[in-house]
Amino acid sequence: MSVKYVDLHIHTRCSDGVVAPEEIPHLAFEVGLEVVAITDHDAVDGIERAFAGNGYDGLEIVPGVELSATAGGADVHVLGYYIDWQDRTLLEWIAFFRQKRLERARRMVEKLRALGMDLCFETVLEMANGAAVGRPHVADALVKEELIGSYGEAFARYIGYDGPAYFPKVAISPAEAIRLIRGVGGIPVLAHPGTVQRDEWIPSMVRDGLMGIEVFHPMHSPIVRRYYEALAIKHGVIRTGGSDYHGEGRGRAQIGCECVPRWMAENLRNLKENW
Ligand code: AMP
Ligand code: FE
Ligand code: FE
Ligand code: ZN
């Protein structure tokens, strides 16, 4: 009997990933995954397209999203699973976030230009090609215009959280993100808490309806993973995990690389079924 794994955190070209959503089922099948969740930043248009690409029996695609909230000045990401991705209110919020992302990208271009980089906003739009615009597209544009040597250099020198051209996103609170996800039947899960280290917000997020914590993530060392496993158990919320796959040239994470056990997807599905 072969061991089966799942991957509950995947980005596509609809946000800042590089793979078309139609291609995800194929990649997932190739590495033997049983369940994958599409979790684009402020985008749900990849969900239907991933379903359309799924010709595999025994591969489940979970509709999801990754929203950004702000807590104590830090970027806190909240994943939403089994959302009703066609809900009008959700789509209106997503349109709002995307508009704000556009304005923010423009501000980052202005900052880069003030730093002497001859970058056009149009190049950023071209790199995003209709997706929810993020810093990765700004990085792509800087590479395209040969203003920097590599994608990673953009974050290291300019648009990382402490960089001179960083500009924050629209601030909704974690409670608002949780409410929005639950309002469309979704299971809210705190994404990669080890990357932001704002654990003091976790108890209030649980009170506000958080239902899970992502414990398997490429940025979590084994010790950090165990720490969040214990925290999830303590708070009585489920544990999830995923690769945060964005595709080639976007970090080292490969689809399925976290070997997330199947029971994590089963717990998620049980929560939805017993909603
Ligand atoms: P944004 O949502 O526009 O703030 O962009 C965040 C995205 O940028 C993350 O989801 C990653 O895909 C990418 N990212 C953030 N920090 C880095 C980094 N240091 N190196 C490479 N990519 C990064
Ligand atoms: Fe991303
Ligand atoms: Fe994230
Ligand atoms: Zn992500």
Ligand 1 atom nearest to 138, measured from its CA:
3
- Which residues, in sequence order, are bridge partners of residue 104? none
Task: List the structure tokens of 7.
Answer: 């991957």
**Which of the listed residues 13, 104, 135, 172 should we mutate to test ligand 1's pocket, taking the one with most ligand atoms within 8 A of CB?**
135
The pLDDT confidence band at residue 171, using thresholds 50, 70 and 90, is confident
The two beta strands, 33-38 and 238-241, are: unpaired
The ligand with the least distance to the CA atom of 245 is: 4
Distance in angstroms (rounded) separating the CA atoms of residues 186 and 184:
6
What is the rounded average pLDDT of the residues 223-234?
A: 98
Ligand 1 mean position, distance from CA 38 (Å): 17
Task: List the structure tokens of 166.
Answer: 């960083």
Mean of per-residue pLDDT scores for the chain: 96
Question: What is the pLDDT at residue 275?
Answer: 83
Ligand 4 mean position, distance from CA 40 (Å): 7
Question: What is the pLDDT at residue 3?
Answer: 66
The string of pLDDT tens digits covering residues 95-150 is 999 999 999 999 999 999 999 999 999 999 999 999 999 999 999 999 999 999 99
Ligand 2 mean position, distance from CA 56 (Å): 26
**Which of the listed residues 12, 13, 16 should we mutate to test ligand 1's pocket, taking the one with most ligand atoms within 8 A of CB?**
16
The string of pLDDT tens digits covering residues 34-80 is 999 999 999 999 999 999 999 999 999 999 999 999 998 899 999 99
Question: What is the pLDDT at residue 74?
Answer: 92
Distance in angstroms (rounded) separating the CA atoms of residues 107 and 133:
12
Distance in angstroms (rounded) separating the CA atoms of residues 152 and 68:
21
The string of pLDDT tens digits covering residues 238-254 is 999 999 999 999 988 99
Distance in angstroms (rounded) separating the CA atoms of residues 75 and 198:
9
Q: Which of 170, 132, 111 is nearest to 121 (CA)?
A: 111
**pLDDT value at 5 more than 50:** yes
The pLDDT confidence band at residue 1, using thresholds 50, 70 and 90, is very low
**246 in contact with ligand 1, CB cutoff 6 A:** yes
Ligand 1 atom nearest to 41, measured from its CA:
2
**pLDDT value at 2 more than 70:** no
The pLDDT confidence band at residue 199, using thresholds 50, 70 and 90, is very high
Question: What is the pLDDT at residue 72?
Answer: 87
Question: What is the pLDDT at residue 256?
Answer: 97
- Helix pair 135-144, 121-128: axis angle to 10 deg: 110
**pLDDT value at 162 more than 70:** yes
**218 in contact with ligand 1, CB cutoff 6 A:** no
**185 in contact with ligand 1, CB cutoff 6 A:** no
The protein residue with its alpha carbon nearest to ligand 1, atom 17, reads 155
Yes or no: say if 73 and 48 are a contact pair by the CB < 8 Å rule. no
**261 in contact with ligand 1, CB cutoff 6 A:** no
Ligand 1 mean position, distance from CA 135 (Å): 6
